[in-house]
Amino acid sequence: MLSQAIWWSCIALECFLLARGVLGRLIVRYPVFYGYILFVATQSVLRSVVHRWYYDQFYFSVYWVTEFLGLVLGCLIVFEIYRVALAGYPGTARMARKILLFLFVLALAKAGAAFAGDPHLLTDTTPLQMERTLRTAQAISIGALVMVFAAYSIPFGKNLRGILLGYGLFIGERVICLTFVPVSGEDFWFYAYSGSYLMALGLWLGHLWCYQAIPATERNAPLDKEYQLIAAATRRHLQDARGFLRKAMGS
């Protein structure tokens, strides 16, 4: 009964969100995000149909294929947030790219080490474990991006902030739920897993009711040489300060 209520609520909110997106022309500004919402709405209906009439033949494969497609589209949402938010900030964009590249290499090295330790790892891993691993990587990437945005005080409009907060909270909750959710049966974590998306939809609807512009940015600032000078001065002064610290602690 509760699963049905969550399912119908999600469908209703998705339709409402899409309608608001079309009416407010937000769909043009955030095409990947609305594409994701449309995909999730379609996937819910498809899964429901398959569950009712073709459960034994197709449900397992349809569920996991759509789940992983959703995950890929989710990564594209993160890319859209990065692209829109950092359009006027090439310095921060560069920093974010380097951090994400570092995380990607780290994840790849970890996966490589795991495969080297256990050659049957891929065949032994269940789809649920695979999803948890990929969602964890996604959660770490989103966390790193949020820290970069906060450190460089990147101004966010209400719409983009809503997309980031909603999707980030959804991923965070989903990662936690995936740690505890049972393979079969319905307990608290099962409902929390389904409910996390409902919460994200509510947040999105509140933030994406109508279009709000992102505050103006200082585009094309001629800063390249000045950055070098400022960074050199910052490093020199902070290194002096650290030298004082060592002296003081030593004395």
Does 132 bind another protein (CB under 8 A)? Our answer is yes
Does 169 bind another protein (CB under 8 A)? Our answer is yes
Measured between alpha carbons, how far is 42 from 223 in angstroms, rounded to an integer?
Answer: 47
**135 with 173: CB under 8 angstroms?**
no
Nearer to another protein, 65 or 231 (CB): 231
Q: How many CB atoms lie within 10 A of CB 193?
A: 18
Measured between alpha carbons, how far is 177 from 180 in angstroms, rounded to an integer?
Answer: 5
Nearer to another protein, 10 or 200 (CB): 200
Does 122 bind another protein (CB under 8 A)? Our answer is no
Does 90 bind another protein (CB under 8 A)? Our answer is yes
* Residues 230-249 contacting another protein, CB under 8 A: 230-231, 233-235, 237-242, 244-245, 247-248
CA 163 from centroid of its chain's CA atoms:
9
Does 205 bind another protein (CB under 8 A)? Our answer is no
* Residues 42-81 contacting another protein, CB under 8 A: none
Phi-psi region of 117 (alpha: psi -120 to 50; beta: other; left: phi over 0): alpha
Burial class for 175, CB neighbours closer than 10 Å (0-12, 13-18, 19+): buried
Binding site for another protein (CB under 8 A): 88-92, 94-95, 98, 129, 132-133, 135-136, 139-140, 142-143, 146-147, 149-157, 161, 164-165, 168-169, 171-176, 178-179, 214-215, 217-218, 221-231, 233-235, 237-242, 244-245, 247-248, 251
